[in-house]
Amino acid sequence: MTLPAETAEIASAVKGFMPGDEGEALYAVATSARPGTWLEIGTYCGKSTVLLAAAAREVGAQVVTVDHHHGSEENQPGWEWHDTSMVDPRTGRLDTLPTFRQTYDDHLADVVTAVVATTAQVASWWQTGVELLFLDGNHTEETAQHDYAAFAPHVVPGGLLLVHDVFPDPADGGQAPWHVVERALTDGFEQVSVTGSLRTLRRPRPKPVE
């Protein structure tokens, strides 16, 4: 399904790291998902959340987005993707929550539940089956592997797993998301599509008993 112009305009105005073609692919894939609970790991300011929310409205799903809002490693001072405008002057720490809150109030509140916590905290109590899981959180090897191990088992048969910033060639980017994809394929997920650094996989449905 083609990304509506209004949604594209809203998403383009939100700070984030989702290229246009990958955003369009994220929306299109999400509109093919079944209604139910969708889970996004890594919110930042809500660019991809806007796209997921628009797709969720189309199919009747609800999105849960999880982030502690203090940024990933690459968002910290001294790193390439550090944004000084996001630093809380009171604490001196990166804080994307106030910026995300505006996006949430303006565009997301009807279909999105925002959880402000680490993925380790949420993993300790999460028990809901997931029709769509979008992994786009911290890209260190330890955290990326944790997030996959914690939440991928909740993807129901026929459900979708999307992983962002996947670079098989180390010259193009960090390897942790690629290692997650490799693990998912080993675990039986089947690759559905590739758009730039966005990979879509599906958990197979059980074969009918003859």
DSSP 108-177: ITTTEEEEES-HHHHHTT----EEEEEE-S--SHHHHHHHHHHHGGGEEEEEEEEE-S--SSTTTS-SHH
Q: What pLDDT shows up at residue 34?
A: 98
Q: What pLDDT shows up at residue 209?
A: 65
Q: What pLDDT shows up at residue 83?
A: 74
Specify the higher pLDDT residue, 194 or 82: 194
Query: Is 194 in a helix, a strand, or coil?
Result: strand
Please say whether the beta carbons of 52 and 134 come within 8 A.
yes
Assign 22 a pLDDT band (cuts: 50, 70, 90): very high
- Cα-trace Rg, the chain: 16
Q: Copy the structure tokens of residue 39.
A: 């889970």
Q: Is a pLDDT exceeding 80 seen at residue 80?
A: no
Mean pLDDT to the nearest integer, 60-85: 79
Q: What pLDDT shows up at residue 77?
A: 66
Note the pTM of the prediction, 2 decimals.
Answer: 0.92
Q: Is a pLDDT exceeding 60 seen at residue 81?
A: no
| Residue 52 buriedness (CB in 10 A; 0-12 / 13-18 / 19+) | buried
**pLDDT per position as a tens digit, 123-138:** 999 999 999 999 999 8
Q: Copy the structure tokens of residue 170.
A: 């180390």
Mean pLDDT to the nearest integer, 164-186: 95
Q: Is the dihedral of CA 186, 126, 53, 164 positive or negative?
A: negative
Catalytic positions are: 139
Q: What pLDDT shows up at residue 183?
A: 98
Q: What pLDDT shows up at residue 119?
A: 97
